[in-house]
Amino acid sequence: MIPFIALALCGQLIASISQMLLKKSSGTEYPNFIRQYLNILVIGGYGLLVVSMFVAIICYGHMPYMYVVIIEPIGYIMVMFLSRIFFKEGITKNKLIGMALILAGILIFYLPGNLH
């Protein structure tokens, strides 16, 4: 099961990277409507989302549901750190509070003793 957990975390990273590509594309001006949606950033971003979806389907078929609920919110935390790296976005107090709440929720509801 550990290989599927690692693969699911990689899938979350792939989905987070796809969000970075789509965000980069949204901040770019394009000469026309078609180029706005048919460019390498958008196609790559949605392509990575499809890849992450297939990774998730494979992993979730081999993991207990309790693990899935823990792994999904990790993507929000990854996006925050990737935004910091690629877009130089600040990590504000509210973002840190949000991250702490996500982690607290995981710890409270899914302590290791509750995972079977």
Q: What pLDDT is stored for residue 15 in this prediction?
A: 97
- In 1-116, which residue ranges form alpha helices assigned H by DSSP? 2-26, 33-37, 40-60, 65-71, 74-87, 93-109
pTM: 0.86
10/14 Cα distance (integer angstroms): 6
Round to whole Å and give the CA distance between 78 and 80. 5
Question: Mind listing the pLDDT tens digit for each residue in 92-108?
Answer: 999 999 999 988 988 88
Among the ranges given (59-63, 84-88, 106-110), the one the predictor scored with the smallest mean pLDDT: 106-110
Asked whether the predicted pLDDT for residue 25 surpasses 70, the reply is: yes
User: What percent of the chain has pLDDT above 70?
Assistant: 96
Specify the pLDDT at position 116. Answer: 53
Q: What is the pLDDT of residue 59?
A: 92
* Rounded distance between C-alpha atoms, residue 101 and residue 99, angstroms: 5
> Is the model's pLDDT at 51 over the cut of 80?
yes
Residues 6+ apart with CB under 8 A from 84: 90, 91
